[in-house]
Amino acid sequence: MSATELPLIGDYSTPVAALSGARIGVVTFPGTLDDRDAARAVRLAGAEAVSLWHADAELQDVDAVVIPGGFSYGDYLRAGAISRFAPMMGKIIDAANSDAKLPVLGICNGFQILTESHLLPGSMIKNDHLKFLCRDQVLRVENNNTAWSNQYAQGEEITIVLKNQDGQYVADEKTLDALEAEGRVAFSYVGWNPNGSRRNIAGITNAAGNVVGLMPHPEHAVEAGFGPDHTGTDGLGFFTSVLTHLVGGQK
């Protein structure tokens, strides 16, 4: 790799031998913004990024899927409401619910799509302050036993990027109680709740731990010098976690 090729600070581009060969799909919808960032994060973690188009109905034999952020279909009707019916989402829903338990990560708009798809409970509404917000956000890892969080320590605090307008997570009290009681709150906001999400919830998981959704963007915190100031790489653990999960025979 020449000195002018990315990454410029820290070389994560050479896959670890035991983790190489994994294929991680990254879905693109009309209006998706962060698919290339997600694909780059996948490559930096040591896997092959596979582009998945929303209108296609083949998963191309991927080992896991990332549904990235953006404004799919312009957030018309409701954020994620139209994308939920894409042919690709039908395949993802079936694979995530199958015995194979395909690992799926939904980031920001991807999280919204996962709730609309009923892969995760609850819903997303506009931030309580009714403004778009972009900032570095501290999160606490509440569950490090998922396919996407196993490389973090339980209770670890990480800083990744938050940018959303419809980022307020809501659910009825019974659902919120169940999420907490079952350890399905994967990440929580620390220091300040940036959007009014119920019980400071930043991200959740399904019961099996293969499907995780969160509003902040780990793919924007994977390279030293380009992410949040203190390290810039706190988000990389999401992507190395799924590789560790796959190598561990939990595919």
Backbone angles phi, psi at 156, to 5 degrees: -65, 145
CA dist 170 and 167 (Å) reads: 9
Task: Please indicate, yes or no, whether the overall pTM of this predicted structure exceeds 0.85.
Answer: yes
Active site residues: 108, 217, 219
CA dist 144 and 155 (Å) reads: 8
Cβ atoms within 10 Å, residue 1: 9
Q: What is the mean pLDDT of the chain?
A: 89
Q: Could you tell me if 26 and 62 are in contact, meaning their C-beta atoms sit under 8 angstroms apart? A: no
| pLDDT tens profile 183-233 | 999 999 999 999 999 999 999 999 999 999 999 999 999 998 887 876 789
Q: What percent of the chain stands above pLDDT 90?
A: 73
For residue 217, give the nearest of 20, 28, 29, 33 by alpha carbon.
33
Which residues fall within 8 angstroms of residue 83, CB to CB, at 6 or more apart? 29, 54, 72, 73, 89, 109, 113, 116
